[in-house]
Amino acid sequence: MPELEYVQENCPKCGFTFMVPEAFPEQRRKDHKTFYCPSCGSGIWYPADNEEERLRKQVEALRKTAQRERDRNSIMFSNLEHEVRVRTGHQGQVAKLKKRIAELEAQ
């Protein structure tokens, strides 16, 4: 049976230092469960996001950024499409006018 390794834990309330199994702080960072100071009995927990939660939030933020970027591009694309339609419409009119002028000149 492997020997348990212990690490130091400090009570933020009374400053008492005590030893806990090595895996203990990691588990509490994962589940954010409260444990209690053996000296003053006040609850201790890790409110900060653990690695997995941080990564999940980062992924979520990136996904939102990507979505915004896609939305922006699709708006820009439809604006561009509209612009092209307007311009080709004008070009069509110009072509018609040129043709008409050419016809008149030929008479």
Q: How far apart are the C-alpha atoms of 32 and 45, rounded to whole Å?
A: 6
According to the binding rule CB under 5 A, does residue 16 interact with Zn ion?
yes
Of residues 16 and 46, the one with the C-beta less far from Zn ion: 16
Tell the smallest beta-carbon distance from residue 61 to Zn ion (Å).
Answer: 36
The CA-based dihedral angle spanning residues 22, 25, 26, 27, taken in that order and rounded to the nearest 10 degrees: 110
For the CB of residue 18, give the shortest distance to Zn ion in the complex, in Å: 9
CA distance 44 to 39: 12
Between residues 41 and 92, which has the closer beta carbon with respect to Zn ion? 41
Least separation in angstroms between residue 74's CB and Zn ion is 56
Residues numbered 26 to 45 that lie near Zn ion (CB under 5 A) are 37, 39-40
Which residue, 2 or 47, is less far from Zn ion as judged by CB? 47
- C-alpha 38 chain-centroid distance: 40
DSSP 48: S
- CA trace torsion 69, 71, 75, 80 (10° rounding): 50
Which residues lie near Zn ion (CB under 5 A)?
11, 13-14, 16, 37, 39-40
